[in-house]
Chains A and B, each alone.
Chain A
Amino acid sequence: RRRRRRNKGCVLKEIHLNITDLELGYDTQEELMFKYCSGSCEVAETTYDLILKNLTKNKKLGQDNVQPRMCCRPTAFEDNLSFLDSHMAYQTLQRYSAKKCGCV
């Protein structure tokens, strides 16, 4: 709960798309609801994040490319999605759409 309150910018959004909009190479006229995670994670959530933030600020990690901030990412995915393509073959997408978001 603490995480959600502090990083309330990270939320689940959804958009109605054609499956071809995903540009995964499928030839079909079917559609889907695509859910994604949006928003920023400003507050350092863990001691690890706080340390990284301090070390990068003080230039103690040299040229290392570290991510000192959490990212708003899916923490769970939607159920699979099946559809029929234009060649009358069924296709199934896995881990294609977010179900829950969090700062990780």
Chain B
Amino acid sequence: LGTRGNNCLDAAKACNLNDNCKKFRTTYVSPCTTRISASEICNRRKCHKALRHFFDRVPPKYSYGMLFCSCRNTACTERRRQTIVPICSYQEKEKPNCLSLAESCQTNYICRSRLADFFTNCQSESRTVSGCLRENYAGCLLAYTGLIGTFMTPNYIDSQSISVAPWCSCSGSGNRKEDCDELLNFFMHNRCFQNAVQAFGNGTDVNLWQHMPPA
């Protein structure tokens, strides 16, 4: 990785030179960037569905390459943040409370199971070498990408770090403030997940990737 290198750009180039990745990338970018009326910038439901197809059907080599690329400048981190077309798939006018968002998630079977996978596979544990309770970075990244295209769609929250969160806040939590903070911190300050992203970006987790089933 050179100082002027942009791994996220390199990953985008690799995607468009691969017929399968190119096809599924376009298949989500189109609904996620097509305005449907004066008030709605896109069809969020279609955008989410196409994003789920992209992460379900494109090999991690390409999809993770764009989502978990390692960066040294903002041109790179901003590109990484734009991978999921956040203006459609992520941001909304208002930020709901994280606990309410999780409750909505529980009403949908895809969201409910994928959120449970994320909590299981990205559980931090300070006494392990990996920082994960289940020492399996691939499992954690797979669980994270599984959330993209659900109510709990997460994204990078700034261009400085690899801190992620769903589009929600803990204001208005009342007497459940601690529960809410715990939920949000599982995303924002998750050592297991952050180590997994770093290992993928640095290519230092080669052994684990070889054991991944082909997508």
Contacts and interface: CB of A to CB of B under 8 A. Distances in A.
Give the contact-size bracket for chain B.
Answer: 10 to 19
A90 B85 contact: yes
A70 interface: no
Nearest to B23: A79
B30 interface: yes
Interface size, A (range): 10 to 19
A31 B16 contact: yes
Contacts of B29: 82, 90, 92
A48 B32 CA distance: 46
A66 interface: no
Interface string B21-46: 01101100110110000000000000
B189 to A, nearest CB: 27
Contacts of B26: 79-82, 92
B156 to A, nearest CB: 13
A83 interface: yes
Contacts of A84: 12, 79, 82
Interface of B: 6, 9, 12-13, 16-17, 22-23, 25-26, 29-30, 32-33, 78-79, 82, 85
Interface of A: 16, 29-33, 79-84, 88, 90, 92
